[in-house]
Amino acid sequence: MKTNEKYIAQPFLKWAGGKRQLLPEIKKYIPETINTYYEPFVGAGAVLFGVSPAHAVINDVNSELINVYQVIKDDIEALIEDLKKHQNDPEYFYEIRNLDRTEVYPTLSGVEKASRIIYLNKTCFNGLYRVNQKGQFNVPFGKYKNPQVVNEPVLRAVHQYFQENEITILNGDFEKTVERASEGDFVYFDPPYDPVSDTSSFTSYTLTGFQREEQYRLRDLCVELDKRGCKFLLSNSATDFIKEIYQEKGFTIKIVSASRNINSVGSKRGKIDEVLVLNYESN
């Protein structure tokens, strides 16, 4: 089935490149029948939660993000309790933000680290996750009047979904995530996007970035998955480069319009063209 209506799980973080706005369009192309659902760049999980598959393998290279998912799955009560301690105050915000610059940070528990990331995400400027060259969170205070740091219903819904279904959570390379994918499985790829201009690339999500060499490696993985009989759907920016490398392999490309609300420059927010690449006939 496309969706599992039993769950109201939804993204609990604001995330650059999040697919909440594009979800209705994406869901038009999700296969009716899926054995195992794979999402190697899970991010905030809008598509995962929108589909709510019973069997899924999710992954992200961002270890902080994956820790949050793991804690929600395994230790929801402790997480909710820890979130209640946070204050919407600039002095407190910078104290918590700067923990990863201290010797204290490695001693924090998984729950404390997850609580910190959710708190920073809800109170930092524009809900942006960004790190500097040392891997330290560096987004300033957002000055919001009443941020919803403890969204208990949503966190509990995600916990319930993880507990009642077979969800494997990984933190590694996208290629390794789908090494067991086979015929009847479905893979949704939402990689860091190919920049539409020389100044638009967002590479501060992790220390490694995602260059064109990686875009080619991802394209070649799609070719391999196609040979295995897997169905895949991939989102990316509608650049000539992206359209060319997938068209030359015979894959179907759909142009869709998406809203982008996370950008440090206000004029760069709004509607932009994206592509959906797939290797099967859409429903």
Residue 20's pLDDT is 81
Q: pLDDT, tens digit, for every residue of 108-134?
A: 999 999 999 999 999 999 988 888 889
Task: Please check whether residues 78 and 135 belong to one and the same domain.
Answer: yes
Confidence of residue 2 (pLDDT cuts 50, 70, 90): very low
Q: Which of 116-130, 192-206, 263-277 has the highest mean pLDDT?
A: 116-130
In the block, which residue shows the tokens 């799955």?
A: 73
Domain residues for the domain of 130 are 68-152
Residue 210's pLDDT is 86
Residue 16's pLDDT is 80
Residue 17's pLDDT is 76
* End-of-domain residue from the set 99, 121, 152: 152
Task: Please check whether residues 169 and 55 belong to one and the same domain.
Answer: yes
Q: Is residue 6 part of a domain?
A: no
Confidence of residue 257 (pLDDT cuts 50, 70, 90): confident
Residue 1's pLDDT is 39
Residue 205's pLDDT is 52
Percentage of the chain exceeding pLDDT 90: 78
Task: Please check whether residues 199 and 234 belong to one and the same domain.
Answer: yes
Q: pLDDT, tens digit, for every residue of 207-237?
A: 557 899 999 999 999 999 999 999 999 999 9
- Lowest mean pLDDT segment, chosen from 33-42, 56-65, 94-103, 255-264: 255-264
Residue 174's pLDDT is 98
Task: Please check whether residues 169 and 58 belong to one and the same domain.
Answer: yes
Q: pLDDT, tens digit, for every residue of 143-198?
A: 999 999 999 999 999 999 999 999 999 999 999 999 999 999 999 999 999 998 76
Determine the average pLDDT of the residues in 20-41. Answer: 94
Task: Please check whether residues 111 and 29 belong to one and the same domain.
Answer: no
What CATH number did the domain enclosing 192 receive? 3.40.50.150
User: What pTM did the predictor assign?
Assistant: 0.91
Task: Please check whether residues 180 and 224 belong to one and the same domain.
Answer: yes
Confidence of residue 3 (pLDDT cuts 50, 70, 90): very low
Average of per-residue pLDDT values in the chain: 90
Q: Is residue 8 part of a domain?
A: no
pLDDT at 48 exceeding the cut of 90: yes
